Amino acid sequence: MTSPSAKWEVRAELGVHYEIVESVDLLSVDNVALLGSVDRSDPSDTQLVLVDTTIDRLYGDRLRAYLEYHRVPYHLVSLPSAEEQKTIDLVLSVASAMNEAKAFRVRNPPIAIGGGVMLDIVGLAASLYRRGIPYIRVPTTLLGLVDVSVAAKTGVNFEGFRNRLGSYSPPLRTLIDRSFLATLPTRQLRNGMGEIFKMALIKDARLFGLLERYGAELIEGKFQDAAPPGGTAASGGPPLWTGANPADEVIGRAIQGMVEELQPNLWEKQLERSVDYGHSFSPLLEMRALPDLYHGEAVTLDCVFSAFLAAHRGLLRSDEVHRVVACARSLGLPVWHPLFCDADALGEALADTVRHRNGDQNLPVMAGIGSARFLNDVTPAELDAAAAAMAELAPVGAR
């Protein structure tokens, strides 16, 4: 028996290292990056590969041919990946697949290939299986490439709340290959642009300029062209990019911005996060609007709404607000939605976000294009004013 006052403490530190690595044409048999990312020290190990059903339909044959060419015994599991199906049940299906593949604790990590939904589901399953095993991520959507790729988070929706169950468990490595975007539907490309747009607004004025000049064209060319036709901007004038081409520079700057913002605050102990821009009102409203709004669309609406809040505080000039709205429109992203004009829904959304931010608003808003600051005293009257400004953007028939 110990005395009632006895006390023991355990302190430990968790070191984290993971990589985001570009690798062109991952499914080409000459490219060994996919298998080089997992420990295949025993070539008889069954390699678990989890893909979303669309990826299986579009790339399944190439993927199987790749694994067979490299003589890898594999267990390939294809799962649905709509946002409505991002549930704990699918996480358990992945855990069953891990059992079937006889997954090891460290050796031979599963490979997840797909959009953000698939990567979040597999990431959560990997964090629970044997209390946490490593995994590899291959994002195949634009949103996955620029946003999920850097994140340490996993999650599933629960009881109407977005990502209410989840974990912080980064993969060993994320492999980036923008050739997957060739098959991505236009609306999904625009969806990914929503997160790039967010990053540009709060952190990167140059990225914003690139979106204004080349954004629409990059979507049209599905990020595949080395350079826009003629090597110059669609709007004329000299090229604006300094990297290899606008597609690489836009994706590269978005990833770099995320790395810079996340690395010092990976576990989100600091609840003032500028990358939460566009994610203050949208989490609840996006879930209410399902399946009407995609994540990046909801983020864009929140960005525009929050730009009106900033303008109300004198942090953004009216010509800057105009550029924000015009850029979103040029990317084919929505700038108006009835839920973002509904003061009650907005108030409820902010209240839930305040609980998530532990009692403070910590509301990132733009302070000019390319920088941010935080507000903690936004009033219901300000929400009303921003909602009224948003309502002005409604298409004529919807007013």
Residue 283 to residue 287: CA distance in whole angstroms:
7
Which residues are paired to 365 by β-bridges?
373
CB of 195 to ligand NAD, least distance (A): 7
The tokens describing 27, both together, are 């499914």
Q: Which of residues 191-220 bind ligand NAD (CB under 6 A)?
A: 191
Our CB check for ligand NAD shows the closer of 287 and 393 to be 287
Q: Which of 33, 35, 58, 240 binds ligand NAD (CB under 6 A)?
A: 58
Our CB check for ligand NAD shows the closer of 86 and 213 to be 86
Q: 391: alpha, beta or left, given left = phi > 0 and alpha = psi -120 to 50?
A: alpha
Give the sign of the dihedral formed by CA 56, CA 58, CA 59, CA 61: positive
When asked if residue 180 is in the footprint of ligand NAD (CB under 6 A), the reply is yes
When asked if residue 271 is in the footprint of ligand NAD (CB under 6 A), the reply is no
Contact 277/366 with Cβ under 8 angstroms? yes
Residue 103 to residue 366: CA distance in whole angstroms:
46
Compute how many residues bind ligand NAD; rule: CB under 6 A.
Answer: 29
When asked if residue 268 is in the footprint of ligand NAD (CB under 6 A), the reply is no
When asked if residue 289 is in the footprint of ligand NAD (CB under 6 A), the reply is no
Phi, psi of 278 (to 5 degrees): 80, -5
Q: Which of 45, 52, 204, 302 binds ligand NAD (CB under 6 A)?
A: 52
Q: Which of 31, 78, 163, 256 binds ligand NAD (CB under 6 A)?
A: 163
Our CB check for ligand NAD shows the closer of 83 and 320 to be 83
Q: Residues 112-131: x/- map of binding to ligand NAD (CB under 6 A)?
A: --xxxxx-x-----------
When asked if residue 184 is in the footprint of ligand NAD (CB under 6 A), the reply is yes
Residue 170 to residue 153: CA distance in whole angstroms:
6
The tokens describing 57, both together, are 């339909």
When asked if residue 138 is in the footprint of ligand NAD (CB under 6 A), the reply is no
Q: At what angle do helices 205-220 and 186-203 cross, to 10 degrees?
A: 170
When asked if residue 81 is in the footprint of ligand NAD (CB under 6 A), the reply is yes
Our CB check for ligand NAD shows the closer of 181 and 316 to be 181
CB of 267 to ligand NAD, least distance (A): 13
Pairing of strands 47-52, 363-366: unpaired
The tokens describing 21, both together, are 């690595």
The tokens describing 254, both together, are 């978005």
Q: Which of 153, 190, 323, 357 binds ligand NAD (CB under 6 A)?
A: 153
Other residues' Cβ atoms within 10 Å of the Cβ of residue 21:
13
Q: Residue 199, SS3?
A: helix
CB of 169 to ligand NAD, least distance (A): 10
When asked if residue 167 is in the footprint of ligand NAD (CB under 6 A), the reply is no
**Does residue 198 have an active-site annotation?**
no
Our CB check for ligand NAD shows the closer of 145 and 325 to be 145
Q: Which of 23, 93, 183, 371 binds ligand NAD (CB under 6 A)?
A: 183
Contact 129/176 with Cβ under 8 angstroms? no
When asked if residue 175 is in the footprint of ligand NAD (CB under 6 A), the reply is no
Other residues' Cβ atoms within 10 Å of the Cβ of residue 170:
23
CA angle at 187 for the pair 186 and 190, rounded to the nearest 5°: 90
CB of 241 to ligand NAD, least distance (A): 24
When asked if residue 143 is in the footprint of ligand NAD (CB under 6 A), the reply is yes
Our CB check for ligand NAD shows the closer of 147 and 204 to be 147
Q: 114: alpha, beta or left, given left = phi > 0 and alpha = psi -120 to 50?
A: left
When asked if residue 151 is in the footprint of ligand NAD (CB under 6 A), the reply is yes
Residue 76 to residue 63: CA distance in whole angstroms:
9
Pairing of strands 372-375, 363-366: antiparallel
User: Which is catalytic among the residues 7, 86, 102, 153?
Assistant: 153
CB of 277 to ligand NAD, least distance (A): 13
Catalytic residue numbers, as ranges: 153
- Interacting residues with ligand NAD (CB under 6 A): 52, 54-55, 58, 81, 83, 86, 114-118, 120, 140-141, 143-144, 147-148, 151, 153-154, 163, 180, 183-184, 188, 191, 295
